[in-house]
Amino acid sequence: MKIFIETERLLLRELTPDDTEGILRLDGDPAVLKYVAQKPIDDLNQAREMIAFIRQQYVDNGIGRWAIIDKKTNDFMGWGGFKLITTLTNNKSNYYDLGYRLIQSYWGKGYATECTLACIDYGFNNLLLNEIYAMADVENTASVHVLEKSGLKKIEKFIYEAESHYWFKLTKMEWLNKY
């Protein structure tokens, strides 16, 4: 299993079938999914399907969300990283979307920001991206804060899956000028 990123507290590695129970815990929690258009899953088979779907993105696109692992405990905390979006979203397609999702017990401890900053660095320095995009439901103030704290700029508000979202963007030049 390949580790893509290591931070002070986190490992970001490919998702594997061993993450099935963690995905069930993550995507089975309605609070975790409050701001996304996804219904909670309720069995291990659905978790396996989710992992297979993401692993297929690794094959098809060379990238997909990664497992976030606590370095001290080796526990599955959630997922984060990039997804190549090929469909039209907010009049844009073929872009790299930065996202993350954490199990509730890891909220409010700086893990999302740590993950996001490391992914941005990886995106610009390893994937050689020129721009990174993200979006967040306007009511998801925690995610909006993480994205802004990580350097992404709120570009505009738009409707996505019948909900109002912010569209974020960060260019490589903006990143280099900041760091």
Separation between Cα atoms, residue 77 and residue 79, nearest integer Å: 7
Q: Give pLDDT, residue 124.
A: 97
Q: Where are the domains of the chain?
A: 3-178
Residue 89: φ, ψ to 5°: -135, 125
Separation between Cα atoms, residue 126 and residue 103, nearest integer Å: 27
Residue pLDDT, tens place only, 119-170 = 999 999 999 999 999 999 999 999 999 999 999 999 999 999 999 999 999 9
Instruction: Give me the half-sphere count of Cα atoms (radius 13 Å) on the Cβ side of residue 137.
Output: 12
Question: Right CATH number for 3-178 from 3.40.630.30, 3.20.20.10, 3.40.50.720, 1.50.10.10?
Answer: 3.40.630.30
86: Cβ–Cβ under 8 A, 6 or more apart, which residues? 61, 93, 94
Tokens for 7? 């931070």
Which candidate, 35, 59, 37, places its Cα nearest to that of 138?
35
Q: Which residues in the chain land under pLDDT 50?
A: none
